[in-house]
Amino acid sequence: MTASEQHKPLDVFILAAGLGTRMKSRRAKVLHELGGLPLIAHVCRTAQALGPERIIVVVGHQAAEVEDVVRTEIGHLARFALQPEQRGTGDAVEVARTMLENSESLLLVLSGDVPLVKPETLTKLVEHHRSTRSDCSILSVRLENPTGYGRVIRDAQESFARIVEQKDATDEQRQVREINSGIYCFETKKLFKALSRVEPANEQGEYYLTDVPEILMADGARVTVYLHNDSREVSGINTRADLAEFENLLRRNTIRSLMIEGGVTFIDPSHTYISAEAKIGLDCVIYPGVSIEGRSTVGEGCTIHSGARITSSRLGDNVVIKDRCVIVDSEIESNCSVGPFAHLRMNARLEESAAVGNFVEVKKSRLGRGTKAMHLSYLGDATIGEKTNIGAGTVTCNYDGKSKHETLIEDNVKIGSDTMLVAPVRVGARSVTGAGSVVTRDVPPDSLVAGVPAVVKKRLGERNDEKKG
Ligand code: UD1
Ligand code: MG
């Protein structure tokens, strides 16, 4: 082998066109999520970590959605090949022929449904491929229960002979526990040469990529097997039961590393759900039944009580989230307290030391520093200043049946219990609304309003003047 051959560039090829019949879903299998991230996104990240020249993804079912996910993960590295009809893994590679067949590269083939394979393992496969001067290297593992997988059949000398799919295997072959992981490294040109000879002469009437190694061997090419020792890592997801098993595995790993390396306390790790994308700071305490989803960030010293769901949100330091809160796409600064039973959504923002209590919904609204809304309120499309108190039962009436309107409440305001703020409306600084007010017009600063509709009863500044007089 010449030096230039040894350093052939690496291309990665990802099979992701299938629907995944065994998932029993309308959604393409590779779009199903594991740890809050589509399966295909996991595979793309791993592929990217190897520093390949290109990553070619074969798409078919829900191609547009799959392409979107891939672009989000790996952007310009991605190339797509469309497999209009899913006629097997061999056919899936065939559709990229024009893109690859003359390429002087190594082609690392991955499956979109094998999401937890580690970059190190793939690097070892590529190293094995190079050092054994193989034309095709197959990553295999031994499984306790190999049912469903293609079996690696070896000859009397223990060398690779062929791969036989479960459905085509004899009873004797089905006893073999060494399986094909669906991950291979090929000399690209040789792969495409052999591929044109694959026939759909099998139980499923499909073009099998797994026939290529045997064809290569018949041509005198070198085919080897790299037996990996971690079977879980390279197992594929075919059913929802597999998906749940992987979810558990991934979650256990995520939580374990948060405990061991991240200094986070979990009261009951087996009943806590943390996305692999989430970041959680030192000395946080997480109670059972909490879900932290998406790219959420939680600062240091936060306490998150039972049953809270936090999705794609940011929490500062020392935040307390009480039981059963739902927090989506929102931001909570340090020293805030939320809940129990509060709902923050659509870019709700609590500034430093603000507090939101029982049965309060905050939508697309900002609460300034130290502002409190402790009971039974709806705050939507509202901007609320600092140190304001929102009384129990306050509602921003933001919707007139056609459009949404904004409410502006300035600093140091006291909104009385059961106030209806009919937006668009503004309440000036230091003003007070009486209990049960229906505020339909702007309230000037330093005033007390009350009634239905609310009118100014008193200028709070005047009271001071009266005293002086
Ligand atoms: C495949 C292998 C099997 C191996 C197993 C490992 C073949 C024939 N069999 O079987 O030996 O043990 O993976 O997980 O290759 N796909 C396409 N287009 C198609 C068909 C499939 O893109 O026409 C994609 C799927 O979306 C999936 C991947 O290829 O990401 C594997 O397909 P799947 O149907 O899951 O193959 P298995 O039966 O698991
Ligand atoms: Mg599969």
Tell me if the bond preceding 424 is cis, omega within 30° of 0: yes
- 349-350 and 285-286: which strand pairing? unpaired
In the reported structure, the alpha carbon of residue 452 is separated from the centroid of ligand 1 by a whole-number distance in angstroms of: 68
DSSP-derived secondary structure letter, 159: -
What is the per-residue pLDDT for 469? 38
Q: Which two tokens stand for residue 113?
A: 């449904």
Helix (H) or strand (E) holding 73: helix 63-74
| Contact present, 121 and 233 (Cβ < 8 Å) | yes
pLDDT in tens, 38-82: 999 999 999 999 999 999 999 999 999 999 999 999 998 999 999
Taking the CB of residue 346, how many other CB atoms lie within 10 A of it?
13
Q: Is any ligand 1 atom within 6 A of the Cβ of residue 129?
A: no
- On the question of pLDDT at 325 being above 60, the answer is yes
List the end-to-end C-alpha distance of the chain, in Å, as a whole number: 104
Q: What percent of the chain has pLDDT over 90?
A: 93
CA distances from residue 378 to 167, 342, 352, 440, 442 in whole angstroms, order as listed: 59, 10, 20, 17, 19
Chain centroid to CA 321: 22
Helix (H, G, I), strand (E, B) or coil at 350: strand
DSSP state of 182: E
348 lines ligand 1 (CB under 6 A): no
Mean pLDDT score, 180-203: 97
pLDDT band at 36 (very low <50, low <70, confident <90, very high): confident
User: Which pTM does this prediction carry?
Assistant: 0.82
198 lines ligand 1 (CB under 6 A): no
Residues measured by CB to lie within 5 Å of ligand 2, the ion? 113, 236, 238
Q: Report the candidate in 354, 360, 363 with the shortest Cα–Cα distance to residue 341.
A: 360
Any bridge partners for residue 140, and if so which?
180, 227
Average pLDDT of the chain, as a whole number: 95
Which run of H or E residues covers position 92? helix 89-94
Nearest CA to ligand 1 atom 25: 18
Q: Which tokens in the block code for residue 41?
A: 């996104």
* C-beta neighbour count of 224 within 10 angstroms: 18
The letter for the amino acid at 98 is: T
The residue among 409, 404, 411 whose CA lies nearest residue 394 is: 409
Check residue 465 and give its pLDDT: 47
Asked if residue 163 lies in contact with residue 176, where contact means CB atoms within 8 angstroms, the answer is no
In the structure encoding, which two tokens stand for residue 297, read together? 């960030």
> Could you say which of 271, 305, 375, 405 is catalytic?
375
pLDDT at residue 462, as a whole number: 54
Looking at residue 464, what is its pLDDT? 47
62 lines ligand 1 (CB under 6 A): no
Residue 349 has pLDDT above 50, yes or no: yes
Ligand nearest to the CA of 112: 1
Closest atom of ligand 1 to 114 CA is 14
Binding site membership of 210 for ligand 1 (Cβ less than 6 Å): yes
Best mutation site among 14, 21, 34, 89 for ligand 1 pocket (most ligand atoms within 8 Å of CB) = 89
**Whether the Cβ atoms of residue 316 and residue 334 lie closer than 8 Å to each other:** yes
- Identify the residue whose C-alpha is closest to ligand 1 atom 1: 182
| Residue with tokens 């497999």, as numbered in its chain | 83
The CA distance from 163 to 43, in Å, is: 23
Between CA 106 and CA 64, with CA 149 as vertex, the angle to 5 degrees is 60
On the question of pLDDT at 468 being above 80, the answer is no
Mean pLDDT of 178-207: 96
Q: Which atom of ligand 1 is found nearest the CA of 163?
A: 11
Residue 329: HSE in the Cβ half-sphere, 13 Å Cα cutoff? 6
Looking from the CA of residue 112, the nearest atom of ligand 1 is 30
Mean pLDDT of 15-37: 93
As a whole number, mean pLDDT of residues 445-450 equals: 98
pLDDT at position 208: 98
Task: Provide the pLDDT confidence category of residue 466 given band limits of 50, 70 and 90.
Answer: very low
Q: Is the pLDDT of residue 274 over 70?
A: yes
The structure tokens listed for 38 are: 């589509």
pLDDT tens sequence across 109-153? 999 999 999 999 999 999 999 999 999 999 999 999 999 999 999
- Measured between alpha carbons, how far is 390 from 4 in angstroms, rounded to an integer? 72
Residue labelled with tokens 């390396």: 261
Instruction: Work out whether the CA dihedral 56, 60, 61, 65 comes out positive or negative.
Output: positive
CA 89–ligand 1 middle distance (angstroms): 6
Q: Give me the mean pLDDT over the 446-452 stretch.
A: 98
> Within 163-292, where are the H helices?
171-174, 188-195, 212-218, 240-260
pLDDT tens-digit map of 361-376: 999 999 999 999 999 9
From the CA atom positions of the chain, what is the Rg in Å? Answer: 30
Structure tokens at 203: 């139980």
Using a pLDDT cut of 70, give the percent of the chain over it.
97
pLDDT per position as a tens digit, 407-436: 999 999 999 999 999 999 999 999 999 999
Q: Which of the residue ranges 299-313, 348-362, 452-466 would you say has the lowest mean pLDDT?
A: 452-466
Active site residue 128: no
